[in-house]
Structure 1
């Protein structure tokens, strides 16, 4: 079946099969968060992005297969409600940016900065630090070569705009600048965006609206 990224809380995961990586997107309640399980096609190793909630459903998705890391994109509580339980059951290392790590409910095993790499079996994810939504928000980029670029943005980029900066013009300028320079200026329009809530998008679909976002300030 064709991957769409349209998932509902309580419903099944949507699955995208790439040559070297399989991506599972699962919506969890109560805040309609998106959690992503990435699994290496060659080794079977997995990485979970945002153990947001509903640990039982996340563990059912992981099943009996290994995961080496759980990456938390930022410190807001709706993105780590299931972190403690999933980490305990799987033994996976907990990964986050140092500026957001102290707010998580469990110790962070590995702190990552902009440009660092996180292994998913034989492939890697590049960490992109995006300040503004929180000080330590990160996105994760999988460069699939011929299979395209796949960007997991947490709450820093959505269809229709950047993440919430609570009306703070300094934080908005940080986030807008980082998203512009570290994402739109370097990645092609075909880059697929997997956000922390709601539907997916592409950079090409959002790029024409950048001036509008800057003008409105959110």
Structure 2
């Protein structure tokens, strides 16, 4: 359904473009933060696969859909608060993406499939959900890891890298090890993987 897919992608990106936060690109231009994230996710998807399924492309593009609307600070501090926030974000983004898909002409089964992928149902068992997770991990490591590690205590950062690594496929591990990193970031990864 190329037309329905294109309409859905356009609707997803229109919502991404509403993000009031901005992200600086490598060329110095600014994009709405969520749109930049979505483009990075799509980039990594095509690094893995030359012809990913239509539904996986939609799920990858919508993974952080309107995430700015529910800030992390709206949830309690600590691991339980973080995991609850992350779960709720996945369910909300999946529901919004499914609605956009139905409005564009997709059937309920396809819309639910994308919602389930965004919610990461079947992670570790479903190859497409694994691929979405791989993309998210690589986007984090490539674009957010260095800044994040400056704000988080060292031992906690090592544990975060270990948890991230466990969620990744062997193919994603190989790609992650090829990412350019500062000496500080590379040292944290080396320690986490020792």
Q: What TM-score range do you get, normalising by the shorter chain?
A: 0.3 to 0.5
Question: If the length of structure 2 is used for normalisation, what is the TM-score?
Answer: 0.37
Normalized per residue, the structure richer in strand is: 1
Pick the structure with greater CA Rg.
Answer: 2
- Bigger RCO (CA 8 Å, 6+ sep): 2
